[in-house]
Amino acid sequence: MFIQTEATPNPATLKFIPGRTVLDGGTMEFANREAAARSPLATRLFEVPGVTSVFYGSDFVTVTKDASDWQHLKPSILGAIMEHYMSGAPLLADGIAASDEAADEEDEFFNEADAETVATIKDLIETRVRPAVANDGGDITFRGFKDGIVYLNMKGACAGCPSSTATLQHGIQNLLKHFVPDVVEVRPI
């Protein structure tokens, strides 16, 4: 088994590509060891000293570290991913592949009068923003719209990335303002 690695714009996060499907739909983030308990792979990755977060995309795993050096962490992370896939263990111990998106949709907030605007914003995020940030090992999902401000949830490599402010302000905000005149600002939540 050959696992590729790719740098992300976030120097604390590295993208691991195992060459097979990781998650069938949506994304999943484990921000700590307790959250990782439902995933044998995430649990293994949190056993590597220095790992602070694990994120699953459709065909990749991103791992975020503390101040530790990638040179020391990378072999252990590659080993954990390889052992997991070679063992045939399921990705999720409970077998439920509920994605973060379902939880995000429950927590969305916007005025019903803005439903058409929100639908356009969500479509732009889904078709133009998410594929681009997935290439960088992260995900961005819609959380809310109020008073012209779009609130987004940044996950994986996007969370805590030094260039995330620029991405939000110059990339996503400009895109949304161009297509949706009601948008005045984009903020992370």
The pLDDT tens digits for 100-117 are 444 545 689 999 999 999
Strand partners, 113: none
Quick check: 74 and 45 in contact, CB under 8 A? no
In the chain, where does DSSP find H-type helix? 40-46, 70-87, 100-106, 115-124, 130-135, 164-166, 173-179
User: Which domain range does residue 163 map to?
Assistant: 100-188
Q: Which region among 86-90, 110-114, 116-120, 127-131 has the lowest average model confidence (pLDDT)?
A: 127-131
Please state, in angstroms and rounded to a whole number, the distance separating the CA atoms of residues 83 and 100: 25
Lowest mean pLDDT among 91-105, 124-138, 149-163: 91-105
Q: Is the dihedral of CA 167, 171, 173, 176 positive or negative?
A: negative
pLDDT tens profile 50-74: 999 999 998 999 999 999 999 999 9
Domain count, the chain: 2
pLDDT for the residue numbered 97 = 55
User: What's residue 106's pLDDT?
Assistant: 65
Tell me the average pLDDT across 152-175. 77
Q: Identify whether 112 is part of a domain.
A: yes
Q: What is the CA radius of gyration of the chain?
A: 17
Q: Among residues of the chain, what percentage have pLDDT more than 70?
A: 90
User: From residue 151, how far is each of 88, 126, 148, 163, 187 by CA, in Å?
Assistant: 39, 14, 10, 17, 5
Question: What type of residue is 150?
Answer: V
**Least confident span in 109-113, 131-135, 181-185:** 131-135
What CATH number is associated with residue 80? Answer: 3.30.1370.70
pTM for the full model?
Answer: 0.77
**Boundary of a domain, candidates 58, 87, 116:** 87
Residues 108 and 174 in one domain: yes
Q: Provide the token pair at 34.
A: 């307790």
Residue 103's pLDDT is 52
